[in-house]
């Protein structure tokens, strides 16, 4: 609890938490569109491609003002995205190859530039490598302001073009047929994703940024079937991950914020994948299991009903009919009894009225199914 | 006023046909997908485009709508360019062209048909909801309005796409294989809508694959196999000779 209060009193932590939360919100919203358009990997390319842009901005201006470096990174990311689209349009390279090549190409160039800068004896270069994995501890109030402006711009634009972006994500060909400028909207949405990446460069860095685009959206999709709600949840999950990552790293020695933000986000995603109602794997699994169990019991009841009508519902007869050991048959009869479908009787077992009723209903239902040819069991 | 039955739009004297295609050629890589296609679609009729797999049926629709790049040719709608006539054109894509697991409701999808009319920055409101509901009613899907679209059967998906196009309240409709793989109820619903549209004086161009039904469903037939083999009134065009020329000696019949 006292850790939580630090957010309000500790200047550094407050900035780090705010910056991370901002990243979570903006990444969450833009990521929702990226995931739905199956362009998650494009986000990854944008982020990695920012590195050479950051280095070039530093070389050209000699400045280390974060905003200038972020703009450089953003421009490089944007260029990479444009190149990917151009390659896809004009070559036969498959999409994943185009994305992979562009990602490693830009990132490799960035690392080379970084090494070059580090060996150029420029005293002010120290710390440029923080953009690889992020270094949230360096976030100060002016950075938070930058993030707010960049992020606010992105969110506002999404708000303005919400219905167009929705249609673009669902059915771009139809959007085109309505006369919407699909290419322009595509470029706009990609540019907004670049803004989100810029917000994240200082916190999580180019390598981990993709997680902040993909994971919140993927987690949010698990909980809702409505786009509005998905976007809202995605932003919320991103913000939660941002704040908890900042808090955890603040309360432990030597734990970096960026990776912890991403780890927190991964934890939220894992919980969502397994436990979200309707879409969660656990419920899926439970439903399948329950269904199987029901069908097994119904088959059992039908077998028991046949024997019951001949007055020979005994463990031995059931075992013979179902080709199972007598011990198993006994256990099955117990199961029927505990359901209230069968009861003990001097000659073994009989079905209760409820059990008979249920068996009749099942037989009626079976009539609807295609009949199996006699003797082909 | 959207998608409500209204009196037939009388073709002005000397008005141009809803769709007029001249010398249309589309090239994917090196191979032509459409070669020198000429086509006049008569107003107020149900027109089928039929041909073997890979004949360019869908490509023809996409090309006239500007969805795929065109190598050469001219397309006019009601004597106007695509841009000028856009609001009079409705489109029903193949239902397999989208991800039906998208997080949205049936009503939301139908309202998308109104986005072009709504214009920038305006969100659909009560009027749009009501218009969309009326369109759902026309395809007997009212009770599914709030459903998530992943819960629909293939035929229901097709009817939702049809309702979305109806919401556009267009004068000329393009439908890409609306009858492909749908149940009997949906087939009935689509036919009902087609006849309703015809009754309102609208023109419908449908990519169709089933030679068994094409004669019963449509008034006008275009046989396509990269080139237009024959095009005209159904009775004159649906001849064994033309069919043989379309499907060729290869006899690659569609499933």
Pair (A274, A313) in one structural domain: no
Pair (A270, A324) in one structural domain: no
Instruction: Kindly list the residues of chain A whose beta carbon comes within 8 Å of any beta carbon in chain B.
Output: 36, 160-164, 166-167, 169-171, 173-180, 221, 224-227, 229-230
Is residue B129 over pLDDT 90? Answer: yes
Q: Which residue of A174, A180, A231 to mutate against B (max B Cβ within 10 Å)?
A: A174
3-state secondary structure of A350: strand
DSSP 8-state secondary structure symbol assigned to residue A343? E
Pair (A103, A212) in one structural domain: yes
Nearest-Cα distance to chain A for B116, in Å, is 5
Q: Which of B67, B118, B164 sits opposite A176 (nearest CB)?
A: B67
**Cβ-defined contact of B98 to A180 (cutoff 8 Å):** no
**Cβ-defined contact of A171 to B115 (cutoff 8 Å):** no
In a domain, A141, yes or no: yes
Q: Which of B97, B103, B124 sits opposite A224 (nearest CB)?
A: B103
Q: CA of B106: which chain A residue's CA is closest?
A: A226
In a domain, A375, yes or no: no
Residues B151-166 pLDDT 10s = 999 999 999 999 999 9
Count of domains forming chain A: 2
Say whether residue B116 is in contact with chain A using an 8 A CB cutoff: yes
Q: Which of B83, B93, B99 sits opposite A173 (nearest CB)?
A: B93
Say whether residue B93 is in contact with chain A using an 8 A CB cutoff: yes
pLDDT band at B117 (very low <50, low <70, confident <90, very high): confident
Say whether residue B97 is in contact with chain A using an 8 A CB cutoff: yes
Pair (A272, A349) in one structural domain: no
Residue B12 has a pLDDT of: 42
Show residues of chain B in contact with A177, CB under 8 Å: 65-67, 89, 91, 93
Residue B254 has a pLDDT of: 42
DSSP 8-state secondary structure symbol assigned to residue A136? G
- The residue range of the domain holding A320 is 282-368
Pair (A254, A361) in one structural domain: no
Show residues of chain A in contact with B109, CB under 8 Å: 170
3-state secondary structure of A351: strand
Q: Which of B104, B109, B116 sits opposite A179 (nearest CB)?
A: B116
Residue B4 has a pLDDT of: 45
Which residues of chain A fall short of a pLDDT of 50?
A: 373-377
What ipTM, to 2 d.p.? Answer: 0.89
pLDDT band at B249 (very low <50, low <70, confident <90, very high): low
pTM of the full predicted structure?
0.85
Pair (A253, A294) in one structural domain: no
Q: What is the percent of chain B where pLDDT is above 70?
A: 91
Pair (A160, A135) in one structural domain: yes
Pair (A275, A335) in one structural domain: no
Q: Which residue of B81, B115, B144, B160 to mutate against A (max A Cβ within 10 Å)?
A: B115
Is residue B3 over pLDDT 50? Answer: no
Residue A350 has a pLDDT of: 87
Pair (A244, A334) in one structural domain: no
Residue B9 has a pLDDT of: 44
DSSP string covering A313-339: --HHHHHHHHT--HHHHHHHHHHHHHT
Q: CA of B114: which chain A residue's CA is closest?
A: A178
Nearest-Cα distance to chain A for B158, in Å, is 14
SS (H, E, C) chain B: CCCCCCCCCCCCCCCCCCEEEEEEEEEECCEEEEEEEEEEECCCCEEEEECCCCCCHHHHHHHHCCCCCCCEEEEEECCECHHHHHHHEEEECCHHHCCCCCCCEHHHHHHHHHHHHHCCCCCCCHHHHHHHHHHHHHCCCHHHCCCEHHHCCHHHHHHHHHHHHHHCCCCEEEEECCCCCCCHHHHHHHHHHHHHHHHCCCEEEEEECCHHHHHHHCCEEEEEECEEEEEEEHHHHCCHHHHHHHHCCCCCCCC
Pair (A264, A294) in one structural domain: no
**Cβ-defined contact of B102 to A36 (cutoff 8 Å):** yes
Pair (A333, A195) in one structural domain: no
Q: CA of A225: which chain B residue's CA is closest?
A: B103
Choose one of A279, A304, A322: the last residue of a domain. A279
pLDDT band at B5 (very low <50, low <70, confident <90, very high): very low
- Return the exposure string of A93-128: e unless at least 16 CB atoms fall within 10 Å of the residue's CB, then b: eeeeebbeebbebbbebbeebbeebeeeeeeebeeb
Q: Are A336 and A355 in contact (CB under 8 A)?
A: yes
Closest listed residue to residue A40, CA positions, set A199, A205, A218, A184: A218
3-state secondary structure of A349: strand
In a domain, A51, yes or no: yes
Residues B63-79 pLDDT 10s = 999 999 999 999 999 99
Mean pLDDT value across residues B38-59: 93
In a domain, A223, yes or no: yes
In a domain, A374, yes or no: no
Is residue B10 over pLDDT 50? Answer: no
Show residues of chain B in contact with A230, CB under 8 Å: 103
Choose one of A279, A309, A343: the last residue of a domain. A279
Residues B187-203 pLDDT 10s = 999 999 999 999 999 99
Q: In B, residues 135-164, which contact A (CB 8 Å cutoff)?
A: 148, 150, 164
Angle at A137 between CA A124 and CA A204, to 5 degrees: 95
CATH assignment at residue A299: 1.10.10.10
Residues A203-215 pLDDT 10s = 899 999 999 999 9
């Amino acid at each position: 609890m006292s850790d939580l209060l630090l957010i309000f009193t500790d200047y550094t932590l407050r900035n780090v938490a705010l910056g991370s939360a901002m990243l979570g919100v903006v990444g969450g919203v833009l990521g929702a569109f990226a995931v739905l358009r199956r362009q998650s990997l494009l986000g990854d390319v944008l982020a990695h491609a920012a590195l050479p842009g950051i280095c070039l901005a530093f070389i050209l201006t000699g400045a280390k003002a974060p905003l200038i470096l972020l703009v450089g990174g953003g421009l490089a990311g944007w260029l990479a995205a444009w190149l990917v689209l151009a390659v896809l349009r004009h070559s036969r390279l498959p999409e994943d190859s185009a994305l992979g090549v562009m990602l490693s190409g830009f990132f490799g160039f960035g690392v080379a530039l970084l090494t070059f800068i580090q060996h150029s004896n420029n005293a002010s270069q120290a710390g440029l490598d923080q953009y690889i994995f992020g270094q949230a501890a360096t976030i100060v109030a002016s950075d938070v302001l930058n993030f707010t402006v960049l992020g606010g711009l992105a969110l506002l634009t999404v708000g303005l073009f919400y219905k167009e972006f929705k249609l673009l994500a669902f059915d771009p060909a139809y959007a085109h047929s309505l006369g919407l400028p699909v290419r322009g909207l595509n470029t706009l949405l990609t540019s907004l994703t670049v803004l989100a990446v810029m917000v994240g460069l200082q916190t999580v860095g180019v390598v981990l940024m993709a997680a902040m685009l993909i994971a919140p959206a993927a987690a949010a999709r698990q909980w809702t079937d409505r786009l509005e709600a998905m976007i809202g949840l995605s932003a919320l999950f991103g913000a939660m991950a941002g704040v908890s990552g900042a808090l955890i790293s603040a309360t432990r020695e030597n734990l970096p914020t960026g990776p912890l933000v991403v780890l927190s986000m991964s934890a939220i995603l894992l919980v969502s994948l397994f436990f979200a109602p309707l879409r969660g794997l656990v419920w899926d699994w439970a439903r399948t299991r329950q269904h199987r169990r029901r069908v097994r019991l119904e088959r059992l009841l039908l077998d028991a009903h046949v024997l019951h009508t001949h007055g020979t519902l005994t463990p031995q007869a059931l075992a013979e009919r179902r080709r199972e050991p007598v011990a198993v048959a006994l256990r099955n009869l117990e199961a029927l009894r505990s359901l209230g479908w069968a009861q003990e009787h001097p000659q073994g077992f009989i079905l209760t009225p409820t059990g008979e009723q249920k068996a009749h209903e099942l037989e009626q239902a079976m009539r609807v199914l295609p009949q199996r040819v006699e003797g082909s069991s | 006023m959207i998608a409500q039955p209204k009196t037939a739009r009388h073709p002005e004297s000397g008005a141009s046909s809803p769709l007029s295609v001249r010398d249309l050629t589309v090239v994917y890589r090196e191979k032509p997908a459409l070669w020198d296609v000429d086509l006049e679609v008569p107003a107020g009729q149900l027109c089928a485009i039929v041909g073997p797999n890979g004949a360019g049926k869908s490509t023809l629709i996409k090309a006239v709508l500007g969805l795929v790049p065109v190598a050469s040719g001219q397309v006019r709608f009601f004597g106007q360019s695509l841009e000028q006539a856009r609001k009079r054109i409705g489109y029903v894509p193949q239902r397999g062209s989208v991800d039906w697991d998208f997080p949205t409701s049936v009503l939301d999808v139908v309202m998308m048909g109104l986005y072009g009319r709504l214009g920038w920055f305006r969100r659909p409101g009560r009027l749009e909801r009501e218009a969309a509901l009326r369109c759902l009613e026309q395809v007997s899907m009212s009770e599914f309005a709030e459903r998530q679209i992943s819960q629909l059967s293939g035929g229901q998906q097709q009817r939702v796409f049809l309702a979305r196009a109806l919401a556009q309240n267009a004068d000329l409709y393009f439908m890409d294989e609306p009858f492909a793989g749908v149940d009997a109820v949906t087939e009935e619903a689509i036919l009902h809508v087609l006849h309703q549209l015809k009754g309102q004086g609208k023109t419908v161009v449908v990519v169709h694959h089933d030679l068994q039904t094409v004669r019963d469903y449509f008034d006008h037939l275009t046989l396509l196999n990269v080139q237009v083999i024959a095009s005209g009134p159904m009775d004159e065009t649906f001849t064994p000779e033309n069919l043989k020329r379309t499907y060729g000696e290869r006899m690659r019949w569609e499933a």
